[in-house]
Structures are given as C-alpha cells and as structure tokens.
C-alpha cells in the first residue's frame, strides 16, 4: 500500500499517513531531479568555459581565408599555421625562457614555503603569531600596487633583461607558506617529539618525516606556482625589452601585433603555448586533488 489509515483508541478515523515505501519513492524523485539539475548546470558552465577554447583550436587549423567561415566545423584543415606561428613568433625561444623561469620559480617557492611553514608550525620563537599575520597581510596587497617600486629596484640593480629579474622577485610566496603550514599543523606532535628524542635535527625531520607526509600539498603548491609563472604577462613585459628574454606570453603579444591579418596564426601560437599547461595538468591532476583535499576529511 502507498499509504495507511491511522486510528486513535476511540475509533475515530484520522488522516492518511504515507508508508516508508512512499517516502522513499518521493525522496528518490526529489534526489533524481536535483541530480539532473546539477548536471544541467555543470553542462552549461562547461559549455561556456570550453566553447572559446574549441573555437580557438578550430581556428588554428583553418587556412587564413577561411578563419571566419564555418566557425564550428572546419571544411579544410592545414598544419601550416602552426609552422608559421613557430617560425614567425620565435616560440621555440620563448617556450625555453618560460620553461626555465617557471621551473626555477616553482622549485624556489616550494623550498622557501616548506622552510618558512616549518618555522611557523613547529618552532617556538617570539612574535611568531604576529609575524605570521603580517606575512598573511601581504596577500591583501595587489601586485599592481608594487610594480613601480619593484621595477625601479630591478633597474637599480642592473637586472633588466635578465633571468634574475624574472625569477628572484617570486622565489617566496605567502600563499605557499600558509598552505604548507596548515598541512604541517595537521601532523601529530608525537612525531616531532619522537624525532627530537632520537636526535634528529630540524633538517632531518623535514627531509625524512615532514616532506613524505605533506607531499600532496607540496605537489599542489608546485602546480599552482608553475601555472602562475607560466601565465605571467605583466611583470615579464615590464622587465624585458630584449626580444630574446621575452616569455611565451609576451611572445604571443608580439605575434599578435605582427599577424593582424592572420588571426589563425595567432590562434595556432596560443594553442602551442597552452600545450605545456595541458600536459602538466593531465600529469599532476591527481596530485592536485590530493593536495587540496588533504586534511579535509578527518577519521
């Protein structure tokens, strides 16, 4: 039965009450509608995000005279646009520069974040909380507010058109320190006490205990650092005037100015510049998810 009659001791007839089976059916219907709504919303968001990417990739394979024709499904495909973008845009040189800068900055940020996070999480020194709050406050200062001063500092040091200008200002990050510190605070304090009893120093504890346990967080930080450095545009443009020191993002700007009558070449250059990002995301996707969700679920 979908429902039953409830009666009081006096024999009076009362309202019908749904049985557990009817409640479960109603819950399943509501849950199913909610799931369909969530999937529909995700499909719309995915379409909005991926449609420009699709049009860019499709436009990169079109000949110059058919870029604005058959926008969704190309009738002719050519790979010459990628060859032209690689040669005219000097993307090989720019990709090498961006790769060197991104790798060095990533390694530096991981090391400095780990060391500073360990100090704030495991060591006891005066004004520790105050210094940590001051460091976090730097996240509230936008990069644009310090560009002029930093640019003058780099110029006074004679680092214009050098790797030092592209790397050294980004060797440390407050966000990385905060992220790794939260992971270190989740470690049992007994581990540090046991290591101290065994005579293990700070560097030994970091190397043999802390790093293996917070490796997912370090992987997520490394991925964030690499992507942020690779996509950086404003700062490399300010500190490099020599074409040989341009990063790939600045190189795409030059390619765009040179190829105003060839938008398909610019699209091909954009696709080439995005290939390393796609590869990194595909390889370290699981590491990113593990790092972001570490400590989110407690047993």
Q: Tens digits of per-residue pLDDT, 130-154?
A: 999 999 999 888 888 888 899 999 9
pLDDT exceeds cutoff 80 at 46 = yes
The closest of 164, 290, 280 to 228, measured between CA atoms, is 280
pLDDT, mean of residues 87-97 = 87
pLDDT score of 50: 87
Alpha-carbon distance 219 to 89, whole Å? 32
Higher pLDDT, 201 or 27: 201
Name the average pLDDT for the chain: 82
CATH topology of domain 89-293: MetI-like fold (1.10.3720)
Q: Are 15 and 2 spatial neighbours (Cβ–Cβ below 8 Å)?
A: no
Alpha-helix runs per DSSP H in 186-295: 189-197, 202-205, 211-213, 215-230, 234-239, 248-258, 263-283, 285-293
Give domain limits for the chain: 40-78, 89-293
Token pair belonging to 272: 């080439």
Flag the least confident range among 26-40, 187-201, 212-226, 234-248: 26-40
The pTM of the full predicted model, rounded to 2 decimals, is 0.79
* Cβ atoms 58, 270 nearer than 8 A: no
Residues in a beta bridge with 18: 3
């Amino acid at each position: 039965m979908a429902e039953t009659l409830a009666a009081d001791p006096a024999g009076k007839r009362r309202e019908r009450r749904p049985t557990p089976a009817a409640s479960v059916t109603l819950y399943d219907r509501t849950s199913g509608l909610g799931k369909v709504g969530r999937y529909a919303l995700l499909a719309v968001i995915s379409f909005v995000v991926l449609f420009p990417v699709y049009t860019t990739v499709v436009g990169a394979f079109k000949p110059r005279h058919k870029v604005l024709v058959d926008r969704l499904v190309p009738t002719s495909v050519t790979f010459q646009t990628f060859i032209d973008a690689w040669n005219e845009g000097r993307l090989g040189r720019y990709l090498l520069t961006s790769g060197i800068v991104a790798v060095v900055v990533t390694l530096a940020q991981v090391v400095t974040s780990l060391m500073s996070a360990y100090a704030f999480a495991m060591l006891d020194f005066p004004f520790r909380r105050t210094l940590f709050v001051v460091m976090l406050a730097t996240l509230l200062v936008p990069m644009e507010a310090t560009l002029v001063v930093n640019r003058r500092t780099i110029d006074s040091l004679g680092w214009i058109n050098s790797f030092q200008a592209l790397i050294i200002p980004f060797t440390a990050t407050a966000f990385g320190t905060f992220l790794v510190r939260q992971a270190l605070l989740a470690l049992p304090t007994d581990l540090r006490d046991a290591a101290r009893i065994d005579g293990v120093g700070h560097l030994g504890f970091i190397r043999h205990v802390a790093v293996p346990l917070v490796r997912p967080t370090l992987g997520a930080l490394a991925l964030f650092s690499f992507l942020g450095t690779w996509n950086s545009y404003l700062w490399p443009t300010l500190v490099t005037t020599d074409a040989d020191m341009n990063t790939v993002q600045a190189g795409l700007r030059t390619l765009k100015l040179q190829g105003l009558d060839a938008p398909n070449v610019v699209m091909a250059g954009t696709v080439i510049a995005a290939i390393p990002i796609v590869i990194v995301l595909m390889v370290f996707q699981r590491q990113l998810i593990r790092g972001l969700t570490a400590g989110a679920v407690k047993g």
